[in-house]
Amino acid sequence: MQTLRAVTRPKVAIMLALGFSSGLPFMLVGNTLGFWLRESGITLATIGFLSWVGLAYSLKFLWAPLIDKADAPLIGKWLGRRRGWMVVSQILVALGLLGMAMVKPEGGLWLFTGLAALAAFASATQDIVVDAWRIEVSDASEDMALLSSAYQLGYRASLLLTDALILIIAASVGWALSYTVMGALMAIGLIATFLAVEPGRNITGHETGTMWNLRGIFDAVCGPFIAFFKQHGKKALLILAAVSLYRLSDFMMGPMANPFYADIGITKETVGAVRGSIGLIASVIGVAAGGLSAVRFGFITTLLVGAVIGPASNLGFSLLAMVGPSNEVFTAAMVIDNFASGFAGTALVGYMSSLTTFGYTATQYALLSSFYALLGKVLKGFSGVMVQTFSEGRSLMQGYALFFLSTALVGIPALLLCILLVRSNKTPVAK
C-alpha cells in the first residue's frame, strides 16, 4: 500500500513526463534515423558512421560541470538552475528535429547530419539536468527506485513511440511530417518542467561561492571526480568498468536493427504495430520488474540479472535472420528484447543513481552515464562495416545472423564484472 501511495505523488507523474521528454530524441537521432536513411538509399557503412552523432550522449560529462554550477542564460534566475537548463535544452531539441524534417537527407546529408547533431547535443544536455533533478528530489533509497522506474517508464514509452508508432505514421504521411510531430511533442517536457519543483540548493555547502574563479572552476570540474573516487575507493575502477560494458550489446546492435528489418522484408507497419502493442506491454513489464527487483533485492542483484538477460535477448534476431521474414519469430524476438531492455535499463539507472553525491549530482551521473555509453557509441559506428564483412562469401542474412550473435557474446565481460561487483559489495570498500 505504501508503494501504491508513493506512485500517486505529483513528482512521480512529473518524472514520467520528463522521462518521456528525455527519451523522445534518442531514437530520432539514432536507430529510427537509420530506417529513414536506408530507405533513402544510404549504405550500411555510412549509416553506421552517422550513428556517431550520438557520441554527444557519451561526452556530456565535459559540459556537465557548467550545468551543475551555473544558471541557464536569461531564464535561469527565473526558473532555477535545473528547470532553466531543462527549458533551454528542450527548445533546442525541438528546433533540431523540426530542422531535420525541413531539410531531409535529400536536401543535403551534411546539413541534415548537423541538425541531428544539434538535437543530440541538446538531448544529452536535457539528460544531464533531468537526471540531476530526479536524484535531488528523491527522499530515500526506495523513493529513488520509484522515480527511476517512473523515469524508465516514460523513457521507454517515448522510445516505443519513436521506434514503433513513428514507423506507422511515416508509412502514411512520410518521414518529414513524422519528425515534425515528434518535435512538437517536446512540449510535454516543457509543461512538466514548469510544473516541477526546483530542488533546494546549498544542502551540502557545495553551492556556496561563485564558480567563476580558480577555486570555483576546480571544484566544478575536478570536485565531482575526486568525491567519487574518495567515496568508492579502489572499487571505483570496477564500477566504471562494469558500467562501461553493461549495455555494450544493445549499443552495437542498435544501428543495424531497422536496416535489418528493411532488408529482410518486414514492413514499417508491421514493425511499428508489434513494437507499439505487445512490445509496449513487454517493455512496461520489464521496467516494472526491474523496479520491483531493485526495491526487493537491491540494485546490485538486479544489475546482475540484467547483465544476463540483456545480451541474451539479441539471439532472437539471429534466429530471425536465419528463418526469414516470419512475423511470429519477429514478434517473439521483439517481446523478449523489450522486456530485457526495460529490466536492464532500470537496473542500470537505479544503480548509477545510488552512486552519486549530492552537490555533484549532474556531473557524477553524467560521468557514469558517459562511461556506460562511450565505448558502445564508438564501436556501434562500425556496425555496418561488421555486417558487410560477415556477409562476404555469405548471404546478407547470414551476415546479419553472425552480427547479432557477436553482439550477444560481447555481453560476457560485463556479466563477469557484475559478479565481481556482487562479491565486492559483501566486503568493506578500501578507502
Residue ranges, the chain, pLDDT below 50: 1-4, 202-209, 428-431
- Per-residue pLDDT at 146: 80
Q: Whole-model pTM? A: 0.71
pLDDT for the residue 216: 61
Q: Which three cell numbers stand for residue 55?
A: 557520441
CB hemisphere CA count around 422 (13 angstroms): 15
Q: What class is the 2-424 domain?
A: mainly alpha
Burial group, residue 356, by CB count within 10 angstroms (0-12, 13-18, 19+): buried
Task: Give the pLDDT score at 197.
Answer: 85
pLDDT of 141: 59
Looking at residue 191, its pLDDT comes to 95
**Long-range contacts of residues 60-65, Cβ cutoff 8 Å, at least 24 apart:** 60/124, 60/125, 60/127, 60/128, 60/366, 60/369, 60/370, 61/363, 61/366, 61/367, 61/370, 63/125, 63/128, 64/128, 64/224, 64/362, 64/363, 64/366, 64/367, 65/220, 65/221, 65/224, 65/363
Segment 212-246, tens digit of pLDDT? 566 666 666 676 677 777 877 888 888 888 888 99
The structural domains of the chain, with segments of one domain joined by +, span 2-424
